[in-house]
Amino acid sequence: MVDQYPPMAPYATGFLDTGDGNRIYYEKLGNPDGKPAVNLHGGPGSGSLVGPTRGWDPETWHVIRFDQRGCGRSTPHASDPATDMSLNTTPHLIADIELLREHLGIERWLVKGGSWGATLSLAYAEQHPERVSEMIIPAVTMTRPEETDWLYRGVGRFFPEALDRFQKHVPEDERDDLLAAYARLLASPDRAVQEAAAAEWVRWEDTVVSLEPQNTSGDHYSSRIDDARLAFVRICAHYFSNNAWLEDGQILRDIHKLHGIPAALVHGRHDLGSPLYTAWQIAQAWPDATLYVIEDSGHTGSQEMSRILNQVTAEFAAR
């Protein structure tokens, strides 16, 4: 087993009023006088971890985590079809991160985010590089159209029967824009329509990670239930059907803005949903980033991935 730090629970919580009707739930963990870090969750719409974490040295780090708009304990919640999703975009999230940093009086912080959190971390850092001391990015993504197309269509070459089921949940004349069709279903005022669409979505997501060496549960995504599942799927469909409000290739194009910021890119060789190629491209263009390829891991992680993440976190703590 990987040696982990003692459990670190929040010592303070709060809500950040964004000024447009959203309230962002946040937590402070660790040492208030420690090195600042912000942890950006994935999804989009997964919500941050509930309960203690063991991924940070509680004596060294001052960790901030929060629930992005529409999910977790933030309000309004995306499971409510009345929630205005036009106020939930990547630019909104980047502005929220900066507002939270200013609210907490933090000058610079390490930014960590995996999966969708990787995209958000990179987009935030490229807009505010002067606020970022280091970066830790597991399960690297840039949410380019080619990546989204692969995740919700191309990878179906490995799972044709599952993809067929996923596609057939929407009307035939809407399948050319499958993600937008799911977004419409998730915005339905009929709870049964929402729940049926969400169930099919998480079934597909579980299929994509089903071949990973360390994934034995089979319910990595479908373990979300009720409002948490509805919010997760609605936000995912909303972001991915809009290319996350990023220009095609924007993050890689602007990676030069991160030169001088030390970073660790940690990616599983068996990540079928987010192939290693994306992390490799970033590493080639970012001299200060080190790519760690985890041979026994996919998107859902492994003991070796945890070990490397602990290692790089300790290295950055010493800077």
Q: For residue 128, indicate whether it is catalytic.
A: no
Annotation says 271 is catalytic: yes
> Alpha-carbon distance 26 to 16, whole Å?
7
Q: Quick check: 249 and 144 in contact, CB under 8 A?
A: yes
First to last CA, the chain: 27
CA distances from 28 to 7, 14, 39, 195 (A): 14, 9, 11, 33
**CB contact set of 117 (below 8 Å; sequence gap of 6+):** 39, 40, 41, 42, 43
Helix 178-186 and helix 226-240, axial crossing angle in degrees, nearest 10: 140
Q: Tell me which DSSP letter residue 286 carries.
A: -
Indicate which residue of 220, 299, 302, 306 is catalytic.
Answer: 299
Catalytic site residue 115? Answer: yes
Catalytic annotation, pick one of 115, 274, 302, 306: 115
Q: Give the Cα separation of 314 and 5 in Å (integer).
A: 11
- Please answer whether residues 70 and 76 qualify as being in contact, where contact means their C-beta atoms are separated by less than 8 angstroms: yes
Which of 267, 270, 271, 306 is labelled catalytic? 271
CA distance 7 to 55: 8
Report how far residue 130's alpha carbon sits from residue 267's, in angstroms, rounded to the nearest whole number: 26
- Residues known to be catalytic: 115, 271, 299
